Amino acid sequence: MVLYVGLGNPGPTYEKNRHNIGFRVIDRLVEETGAHALNSKISNSILFKSGNRIFLKPITYMNNSGESVFSVSTFYKISTQKIIVIHDDIDIPFGSIRFKIGGGHGGHNGLKSIDSFVGKEYARIRLGVGRPENKDEVTGYVLSNFTETEEFLLPGIIEKTVEAALRMPEMPIEMVKSKYTYALNG
């Protein structure tokens, strides 16, 4: 069993925010795989299943994502090494897709929460959303919507992410990096 976790915040207010790109990828993964919704007794989780894949959108709000990831991974007996977290990353340019296993949270509160509940050795798909000019504007920036141009480009970026995500469980991370790392401008 593989657990795919898309990070975001619940509700229509946050739907198009940069911080919610993980939710958008999960929605596309569900569509691509024909996954069906699970009537789960696990609270704070929206879950879908397709074969040996579980798709999770934590509805605990970003800062408490670890609670939901822990509950789902415990219930389904999924080890940390079989968890793939898809999230926004302000440290890489908009449109870039990068991959890694483990490492620090880089100030991302969703990752910080997951680290505290399940450890750090899960796979990560890092989706670049760019960075605000002023460090003090990070919260407002990630909670703002993508620009019209970015929205136009997102479907292609999400498609590349979906392709990589579905292949990740069967490939070593170095092969994933060499085949699927992507930058919009090169």
In this structure, the number of other CB atoms found within 10 A of the CB of residue 114 comes to 30
Q: Which is catalytic among the residues 19, 36, 87, 105?
A: 19
Pairing of strands 83-89, 123-128: parallel
What tokens were used for 177?
Answer: 């990096």
DSSP-assigned beta bridge partners for residue 50: 53
Contact in structure between 90 and 130 (CB atoms under 8 Å)? yes
DSSP-assigned beta bridge partners for residue 101: 123
Q: Which residue in this structure is represented by tokens 């483990």?
A: 102
Cα torsion for 17, 19, 23, 29, to the nearest 10°?
Answer: 100
The closest alpha carbon to 141, from 90, 68, 183, 98, belongs to: 90
DSSP-assigned beta bridge partners for residue 145: 17
Task: For 115-128, give one letter per residue: b (16+ CB within 10 A) or e.
Answer: bebbeeebbbbbbb
Q: Active-site residue 108, yes or no?
A: no
Tell me which residues are annotated as active site: 19
